[in-house]
Amino acid sequence: MKSRSERGFSLVEVIVANFLLIIGIAIIASIIAMISEKNFFSQRQTQAVILAQNKIDELLNEGYSSSELDAGVNYENYLNPVNATGDSSGVFYQYWDIYDVDPIERSKKIVSTVQWDGMDGETKTVSLTAICIDESN
């Protein structure tokens, strides 16, 4: 006859241990999935901010009298959808709007907007704003 210390594990103990192991693996898998999703969103958002900032920099470098700074005009990148570098065949849609700034004379507001579809199917948007002032006088 075996003593109590030599018996081993009962079936109930093995089932409980397996159940706890499965729950632990499921929790770790959900955490990894959530981190991956957040990382993907963060990467896309960073790319969108860079695209929007590059457009603002481009327009500011052209200067106040540029034909691309006509107030009241809504522009769209003719290459839409664009990729992270602004070339065609990407996932981003790039737009920019130009407005006169009241009451400041000889100044225009630039609103650069980039949109993309998130993993959840919702449209995500990044908008940056800058003011271009005529410094020719």
d(CA 42, CA 121): 16
What pLDDT was estimated at residue 47?
Answer: 93
Looking at the domain assignment, is residue 2 inside a domain?
no
Q: Does a structural domain hold residue 83?
A: yes
Give the predicted TM-score (pTM) of the model. Answer: 0.75
Whether residue 72 lies inside any domain: the answer is: yes
Residue 128, beta-bridge partner list: 112
Residue 3 lies in a domain: no
**Is the peptide bond preceding residue 81 cis, with omega within 30 degrees of 0?**
yes
Query: What are the pLDDT digits (tens) for 84-133?
Result: 888 888 899 999 999 988 888 888 999 999 999 988 889 999 999 999 88
In a domain, 1, yes or no: no
Does residue 63 form part of some domain?
A: yes
Q: Which domain holds residue 122?
A: 9-133
